[in-house]
């Protein structure tokens, strides 16, 4: 029987439950992070916890457990489930909200940590590159309080992903209300042009004045992805120029290479935008270099 960690206790998943009054259930009031474990070790857990905690603070979701306690939970959860290579998820909701006439609002948050055997994307995607579609009907709103955070309000992204699958693709690319590229449904996006790596900036990155002056929109919906951060580090170490830039559809369609990143897929080459072939319909040299360097980074940090 698989085990989970819920509010400080390890339980069989069949015994774990949350209240029908939990605000995560009722209002999607919560955040989460998904991470990979390799050889029994979570990859860059500290980065995941830092981003999760920042989102909790920004969205008024209390997280009472310290990072070192959560790190110990992650390792024990893997051991209890007999997992080495795993997909893990840490979810925090505002829980049950009580109205206290003396002290105001009081919350009993829910914290849930799960682990499951890793199921990889098809290897054919990595060999031949994924096909993606462009979303026309849905746009990301960077003025929303939840923009740039990984919240439980995920339904629209799942619908976008379902739409992509129904159209014979593996992902959907999202633009903001100003019609500039932001992300895929569940991944960050990079493109390569003239051997430079381009990606849309996050909200934090847009606080730099020079970048803010150069980008034609004031706010961002881009998630500060943990794998995104690692790829930028690897590119700079390899001497590949990295540019934070506004990317419209014309620049996107003119890409030499295109790639997606998240903790589950790692680095995913994209070789087709609907019927438009990118990079000769095969993973490009920059993508291959970054994928090899990322695999080595994972091996080095999780050995």
Sequence-separated (6 or more) residues with CB below 8 Å from residue 61: 29, 30, 31, 55, 92, 93, 94, 109
The matching CATH number, chosen from 2.40.160.20, 3.30.70.660, 3.40.50.150, 3.20.10.10, for 123-302 is 3.20.10.10
Q: Whole-prediction pTM value?
A: 0.95
Give the model confidence (pLDDT) of 185-240 as tens digits: 999 999 999 999 999 999 999 999 999 999 999 999 999 999 999 999 999 999 99
pLDDT at 99 over 80: no
What pLDDT shows up at residue 43? Answer: 98
What's phi and psi for 161, nearest 5 deg? -65, -40
Mean predicted confidence (pLDDT) in 141-154: 97
pLDDT band at 38 (very low <50, low <70, confident <90, very high): very high
Give the model confidence (pLDDT) of 15-36 as tens digits: 999 999 999 999 999 999 999 9
Helix (H) or strand (E) holding 156: helix 155-166
Mean predicted confidence (pLDDT) in 40-51: 98
What pLDDT shows up at residue 105? Answer: 74
The alpha helices in 42-154, defined as continuous H runs, are: 45-58, 67-80, 123-128
Cβ neighbourhood burial of 25 (10 Å; 0-12, 13-18, 19+): middle
State whether CATH 2.60.40.10 applies to domain 3-117.
Answer: no
pLDDT at 78 over 90: yes
Cβ neighbourhood burial of 168 (10 Å; 0-12, 13-18, 19+): exposed
What pLDDT shows up at residue 303? Answer: 85
How many residues in the chain? 303
Same fold, 3-117 and 123-302: no
Range of lowest pLDDT (84-93, 100-109, 210-219): 100-109
* Domain edges within the chain: 3-117, 123-302
pLDDT band at 128 (very low <50, low <70, confident <90, very high): very high
pLDDT at 103 over 70: no
What's phi and psi for 65, nearest 5 deg? -90, 140
* Cα–Cα separations (whole angstroms), residue 64 to 53, 105, 111, 185: 10, 16, 9, 30
Give the model confidence (pLDDT) of 242-259 as tens digits: 999 999 999 999 999 999
Cα atoms in the 13 Å half-sphere on the side-chain side of 50: 8
pLDDT band at 174 (very low <50, low <70, confident <90, very high): very high
Cα–Cα dist 181/199, whole Å: 9
Range of lowest pLDDT (24-38, 103-117, 149-163): 103-117
Positions of E strands within 82-213: 86-100, 104-117, 130-134, 171-175, 181-184, 188-193, 196-199
Left, alpha or beta for 41 (phi > 0: left; psi -120 to 50: alpha)? beta
Cα–Cα dist 258/189, whole Å: 8
Mean predicted confidence (pLDDT) in 87-94: 98
Cα–Cα dist 250/149, whole Å: 27
Mean predicted confidence (pLDDT) in 264-276: 98
* Cα–Cα separations (whole angstroms), residue 193 to 50, 190, 244, 256, 257: 31, 10, 13, 5, 7
**Among 169, 202, 192, 178, which Cα is nearest to 259's?**
192
Positive/negative CA dihedral, 151, 156, 160, 162: positive
What's phi and psi for 146, nearest 5 deg? -85, -5
């Amino acid at each position: 029987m698989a085990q989970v960690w819920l509010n400080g206790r390890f339980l069989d998943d069949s015994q774990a439950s949350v209240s029908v009054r939990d605000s995560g259930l009722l209002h999607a009031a919560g955040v989460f992070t998904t991470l990979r474990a390799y050889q029994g070790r979570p990859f860059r857990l500290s980065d995941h916890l830092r981003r999760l905690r920042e989102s909790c603070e920004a969205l008024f979701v209390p997280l009472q457990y310290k990072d070192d306690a959560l790190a110990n939970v992650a390792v024990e959860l893997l051991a209890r489930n007999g997992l080495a290579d795993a997909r893990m998820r840490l979810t925090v909701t505002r829980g049950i909200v009580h109205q206290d006439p003396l002290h105001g609002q009081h919350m009993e948050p829910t914290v849930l940590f799960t682990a499951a055997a890793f199921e990889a994307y098809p290897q054919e995607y990595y060999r031949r590159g994924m096909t993606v579609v462009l979303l026309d009907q849905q746009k990301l709103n960077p003025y929303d309080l939840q923009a740039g955070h990984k919240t439980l309000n995920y339904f629209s992204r799942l619908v976008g992903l379902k739409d992509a699958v129904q159209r014979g693709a593996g992902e959907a690319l999202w633009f903001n209300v100003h019609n500039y590229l932001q992300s895929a449904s569940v991944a960050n996006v990079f493109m390569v042009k003239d051997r430079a790596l381009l990606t849309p900036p996050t909200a934090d990155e847009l606080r730099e004045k020079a970048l803010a002056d150069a980008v034609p929109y004031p706010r961002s919906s881009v998630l500060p992805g943990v794998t995104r951060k690692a790829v930028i580090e690897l590119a700079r170490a390899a001497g590949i120029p990295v540019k934070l830039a506004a990317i419209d559809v014309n620049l996107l369609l003119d890409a030499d290479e295109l790639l997606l990143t998240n903790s589950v897929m790692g680095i995913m080459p994209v070789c087709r935008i609907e019927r438009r072939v990118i990079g000769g319909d095969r993973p490009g040299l920059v993508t291959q270099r970054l994928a090899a360097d990322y695999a080595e980074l994972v091996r080095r940090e999780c050995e």
